[in-house]
Amino acid sequence: MSFSLIDSPSYLFTSESVTEGHPDKICDQISDAILDAIYDQDPSARVACETATTTNLVIIIGEITTTAKINYVEIARQKLKEIGYNDPNTGIDWKTCEIIVKIHEQSPNISAAVSTALEHRKDATKMSDAAVDSIGAGDQGMMVGFACNETEELMPMTMSLSHQLTQRLSLVRKENIISYLGPDGKSQVTIEYEFGKPKRVHTIIISTQHKDGISINQIEKDITKHVIDPIIPEKLIDKSTRIFINPSGKFVIGGPHGDAGLTGRKILVDTYGGVARHGGGAFSGKDPTKVDRSAAYAARYVAKNIVAAKIADRCEVQVSYAIGVSAPISVSVETFGTGHIPDSKIANLVNKYFDLRPGAIIQNLNLRQPIYQQTAAYGHFGRLDIELPWEKTDKASALNKEAFL
């Protein structure tokens, strides 16, 4: 077996998260709010919506085919208001910002490939269930799912703690526990591992937008007390743990005024914080015929059930597709030496218990519903605050039983 990090007596690993007010996350949330609004009226819609933002400007573009009647401008303004951008000094004002919308219908070539999979175009008599089999993948590519037993939610601890810190940062702002914070912010957590297990928190970084005139000493004191202390387990902190709060000094200029934003630019924040590989496709603004999204969710569902079944301590699942083809091109399983049965046997279990055709994924995970904007900040996986169908471990018992027969 080749050497891997789990064989190392000591190593450091880092993941980051960003708040809902980060410019890229603003765009993700607007794109997914549009998807949800469309799905609320038209669950069969084809949606590929992209958003960009800069100082007091939002641009919405994409390919959307739907019978739904929605107000793109109003959805964007409402989302900005919910996030907390209600003052031009924060980088954008929901009431007065300019919003440009340029939407056209999905390419008829792509639409035809998705609507009628290659298998059907060749021989429809071979397909047993047209509702599932007739849907082709919306694009080529490879998608990755991951799970590990480091946390209750079966996520990497670096990613889990980073998300919890940014969620807490937004909470103390919205509940006015710290009155001077702005919507934009980031966290970063570095953990020291010992033979693949979390040992201690090595470094914590939090950067938060704030009103002018607030001293760095006050920010450090308040963030430590109200954000870090309630989140980071005391047992993971020691005298050598380093904490950096607003290491740049002032962070008054933030949001879209401080940095332009774009949908899909935080793919590692959305997934596993760099612990697992990534297929490259972003999620937000895409309906589930786009396997960038639905197959990544399905791969997480597979990996999580394998770890929940105690077949492996860490599991990465890759699945790949060709545009317009229903059946996956490949499915692979990697357990990094933590499998309690051979990976080949795990792969056989995956093929038996999980149908990874796009139509089957959509049907089995019930993805044609307006559930997406809640995923557009603080991660698409391992969420304990919301219920998501790909986070179920309903196949773990059956997998465990068959694995250890």
Active site residues: 22, 24-25, 50, 63, 186, 251, 259-260, 265-266, 286, 290, 292
Inter-residue contact 316 to 332 (CB < 8 Å):
no
Structure tokens, 359: 């139509």
Q: What is the DSSP secondary structure assignment for residue 224, as one 8-state letter? A: I
List CB contacts of 123: < 8 A, sequence separation 6 or more.
none
Inter-residue contact 251 to 186 (CB < 8 Å):
no
d(CA 349, CA 372): 29
Inter-residue contact 141 to 321 (CB < 8 Å):
yes
d(CA 11, CA 117): 46
